Structure 1
Amino acid sequence: MVSNVPPDTAEGRRRSGAQLVRVAEGGRSPVGITIDGQPVQVMEDDTVLTAILTQLARLRDNEFGGGPRAGFCLMGACQECWVWQADGTRLRACSVLVSEGLAVFTRSPLTSWQIQSL
């Protein structure tokens, strides 16, 4: 069934499986970032974790078993919320705030041979 609900609305994200849906928001400016190469609008002062989960059903896949991950402790201790920047550096999605132009990947953008040479 094709939906006429725009995907960049709360209802569209709910239908697409976004993990978090904003129900009321006011007083914060939109910020443009990219997630896995796709431009999205999130809110000023969101953590990267919040920004991703308002767009997607999961934060990332576990690199050892492939299971879905969505963060766990939300304070930077559990190692469950790592995501990558384009240069391959990792950041903790639960403790880094979004900034205009930030580009993050839910899977490493580097190939295995590039990772081994780091």
Structure 2
Amino acid sequence: MIRLVPDQSSLISRAGAVSFTFDGQPVTAHEGETVLSALIRAGVTYLRDAPVDGGARGGFCCMGLCQECVVLVDQQPVESCRQVVGDGLAVFSLGKSAHD
């Protein structure tokens, strides 16, 4: 038998808010959150183009194994699911269409 648990989301205490940019657009996140989780919460799912077929790529494994969520931070490719946000961080997609 399944027991229904009452909604306790109002009891969750979030860390302070920080702001970063993704392809020049401001995104709000919480301290300690990963770039990928902040982007997903903001409705961003497209992060790069696949190198072979050019298909859209985004978060997949969410633990740094698949490299589907790679973005540029300080001109270096990093997995967005492993990169913690920081106030003023500048993140860029690796998609051709984002830079045309």
Please give the TM-score of this superposition, normalised by the length of structure 1.
Answer: 0.61
Change (3 A) 1:48 1:76: same
**Whose strand fraction is larger, Structure 1's or Structure 2's?**
2
Letter in 2 for 1:105: F
1:62-77 correspondence to structure 2 within 5 Å: 62-64=49-51, 65-77=53-65
C-alpha contact (below 8 Å) 2:70/2:78 kept by paired residues: yes
Q: Name whichever of 64-73 and 33-42 sits farther off.
A: 64-73
Number of paired residues? 87
Could you tell me the percent identity over the aligned residues? 38
**Whose helix fraction is larger, Structure 1's or Structure 2's?**
1
Aligned twin of 2:72? 84
Tell me the SS of whatever aligns to 1:40.
strand
Distance 2:44 2:27 in 1: 15
Aligned twin of 2:24? 37
How far is the alpha carbon of 1:41 from its aligned partner?
A: 1.3
Distance 1:57 1:41 in 2: 12
Change (3 A) 1:27 1:53: closer
How far is the alpha carbon of 1:104 from its aligned partner?
A: 0.2
Please give the TM-score of this superposition, normalised by the length of structure 2.
Answer: 0.71
Tell me the SS of whatever aligns to 2:91.
strand
Question: Which structure has the greater CA radius of gyration?
Answer: 2
How far is the alpha carbon of 1:107 from its aligned partner?
A: 2.4
Provide the alpha-carbon RMSD of the alignment: 2.4
Aligned twin of 2:93? 106
Distance 2:90 2:48 in 1: 18
Q: Which runs of 5+ in 2 are unaligned?
A: 1-8
**Larger RCO (alpha carbons 8 Å, 6+ apart):** 2
How far is the alpha carbon of 1:35 from its aligned partner?
A: 0.7
